[in-house]
Structure 1
């Protein structure tokens, strides 16, 4: 058996058995090196070089920033959204989507988004008369905006694996991220009108102005992250560090909801998550080397092209593969496992690595709300106290719309390539 295929099979088996994915990656890679009679010293060499990247410093900074803003900063964002559109029928559900989009532009994490936004909005929606399953579904599906709207941890991992500019990947994800947010807002609005969900009293211009002024420090954060990157003032890593410092300053001295003793647990939690991702990335460099050296990617390219040479059909088949994998494992390990396999095929088709990176991230993000893994939907139903069945039933139309939007992004590459090409000139 091809040693690259063996590595992937071992990884899948151990992941399904519940072995932590970073350890499963290392064990499968070591086994493949030994069985393939390859130099085992490569494991240490490439693991170190895989983690030795300045771009990866953005991950712990964005993790810390997301955790720092889960208090008052998050509540200010929700208050601003409620003041501006609270009078619309179903406004709490719409506010959940918009708040998730804004939060996403800072944290870059789906799980962090459903925890921060869902933790506040799901109880509020249930109290306002929304069905619990629908409330959990809205916050769960809206949370997938976290890994799409930049900054995105997924895109950082993908950019490191493909040596693609992370700044350009962030630019490429802007329109798809905003587009999916608008699709979800439209669905929630129409659904709320159909089921006659409540609307709040319309805020006066004076009230809106007061809330805006009170929330201005929180509202500046997405501009700080994206503006400094897109204008070329900072790299993604530098912008992450600035955002982290800004969130720390605002939490400690402006909104004053952070206490020095809270920082220990915040840094510890962020450190554990970051360490897991970095170990995974380090091992992925070795596994990628094994897979490429085995000749499996070339065999995949030739096999796929022997079935069909139609670019659109191949992209459709790739999306099916990504969707199935996304249902079975988290996105970060899926990215590091599949990227070395699919990259030669993508290049053969003439598809931009920026375009494919956004498509891959969007597809795997949908996996965050599709069982059996479905991390976000499981967290959302836990917060709501509802059954998985009722939550998933309410989420299915939104998942369907997300898949339809994925197809649009797949076959209209300008949605991902236009902005990077304009801002890079």
Structure 2
């Protein structure tokens, strides 16, 4: 009953257009008044501030800043040039360029929205000029951009690691193989659709051109290596890696690419602050939500209900996937993480499912939700950039969504996909 009221009020307020943070606060307040009238309401601001007061969350602000500086410093153009030289000659060349660019940029920003904005703002127009259907271009950018939170660094994985007590470095490593599989799968689908649509290829770049573009992008290409390598090598923590990433992009923007102006730096700082604030207030509001779930024994009730089903572990994992997928269709990923993790963490631990694997399953489900109706933000964002209807983007994205779901099933039922690389690096 408690969960029904909590979710019902939240979804009702969200459906009325109330911003998510206020929908979460309204649902929490209503539930407290109904089920815990003796609890002083002062606990709400205490939990709100406490939900944001975690040193590891500073990494979110720093990676947001690194992503914004990347666009302002001209890093995006170098990455696009590198990708074009390497894969532009393959069938559907600009589509392949989009996938490779999203893959590389994911190693800096950690955000699907940032990747979609950076790559889509340039390549959707280029694809349309080259004769690509606008809906296809938007659908490709939409689905490829979820590589941002899968390839390290990843803002949602930082949030999950804080909530679940998992290692941020292991979470980062666990996303690499699924990210590679997603990129390869999207590339194959793009190749197949390019043949169906008779899409053009780019001219094959000569070796000197490839070397030149690699040299121009080399500083940007080193960023993911520095970030992940530094964390796993013990040179710095995940939070410090965010600072290193922001400083590195700032330096190459000023000293190497010479494309970062004072105005661009100011805009990057403002946009990073806005992005960080939007995440942190949701985290604060969601922490109250999560406390009520724990206080009312919702986690125990869920665990008992699933245990009573006598379902096997594969069936439980399937049920969790279906639930996460459905929730991801309606909720912001960060809010969904904070709601779902406290509920299901005890159940997952009782089943012996590795917390790192569970984290990748959860994050990937919620990222797919950004690409699915009715709320999928990336649908509307890319549809606006391509000047087509959201329905067109949804229709064109179906083959690409098939790849994402196939990788999700691999992550769910083949633990080595996520755990092998962290095991090799950590020696366990």
Report the TM-score when normalising by structure 2.
0.95
Mapped to 2, the partners of 1:16 and 1:70 lie a distance apart of 34
Alpha-carbon displacement from aligned partner over 1:26-66 (angstroms, at most 9, x marks no partner): 22223322322334332233333322211101001110111
> How far off is 1:315 after superposition?
0.9
The aligned counterpart of 1:6 is 5
Q: Which residue of 1 aligns with 2:71?
A: 70
8 Å contact from structure 2 (residues 152, 224) kept in 1: no
Alignment partners' CA distance in 2, 1:84 and 1:265: 32
Of residues 6-15 and 50-59 in structure 1, the stretch that sits farther from structure 2 once superposed is 6-15
Contact 1:133 / 1:384 at 8 angstroms: preserved in 2? yes
Residue number in structure 2 paired with 1:201: 203
- Which residue, out of 164, 167, 172, partners 1:165? 167
Deviating more after overlay: 154-163 vs 27-36: 27-36
Measure how far apart 1:283 and its partner are.
2.5
Conserved? CA contact 1:87–1:202, under 8 Å: yes
**1:246 deviation in Å?**
1.0
Q: Report the alpha carbon displacement of residue 16 of structure 1 after superposing the two structures with TM.
A: 2.3
Partner-residue secondary structure (3-state), 2:166: coil
Residue 43 (structure 1) aligns with? 44
Residue aligned with 1:69, SS: helix
Question: What's the counterpart of residue 263 of structure 2?
Answer: 261
CA distance in 2 between partners of 1:156 and 1:124 (Å): 34
Match of 1:184 in 2: 186
d(CA) in 2 for partners of 1:289, 1:53: 16
Greater CA deviation, 280-289 or 92-101?
A: 280-289
Partner SS for 1:57: helix
Secondary structure, counterpart of 2:71 in structure 1? coil
How far is the alpha carbon of 1:265 from its aligned partner? 2.2
SS at match of 2:175: helix
- Counterpart in the other structure of 2:298: 296
Counterpart position of 1:24: 23
Matched, 1:88 2:90: yes
When normalised by structure 1's length, the TM-score is 0.96
Alignment-derived partner of residue 116 in structure 2: 114
1:316 aligns with 2:313: no
**Alignment partners' CA distance in 2, 1:161 and 1:83:** 41
Cα distance in 2 between the residues matched to 1:174 and 1:121: 24
CA distance in 1, matches of 2:115, 2:402: 21
User: 1:310 and 1:16 mapped to 2: Cα distance?
Assistant: 36
C-alpha separation in 2, matches of 1:360 and 1:240: 23
- Note the residue ranges of structure 2 that are not aligned, 5 or more in a row: none
The Cα shift of 1:194 comes to: 3.4
Aligned CA-pair RMSD: 1.5
CA displacement, residues 354-378 of structure 1 (integer Å, 9 cap, x when unaligned): 1111001101101111111111121
Residue of 351, 354, 361 corresponding to 1:352: 354
Aligned residue number for residue 158 of structure 2? 156
Per the TM alignment, residue 285 of structure 1 is displaced from its structure 2 partner at its CA by: 2.4
Aligned equivalents of 2:248, 2:291: Cα separation in 1 = 39
Say whether 1:15 aligns with 2:14. yes
| Shift in Å, 1:267 | 1.2
Q: Equivalents in 1 of 2:13, 2:113: separation in Å?
A: 23
1:233 counterpart residue number? 235
The Cα shift of 1:193 comes to 2.7
CA distance in structure 1 between the partners assigned to 2:368 and 2:298 by the alignment: 27
Residue pair 2:150, 2:364 contacting (<8 A) in 1 also: yes
Deviation larger for 382-391 or 363-372: 382-391
- Residue 371 of structure 1 corresponds to 373
CA contact under 8 A between 1:73 and 1:218: conserved in structure 2? yes
Structure 1: any 5+ residue segments left out of the alignment?
none
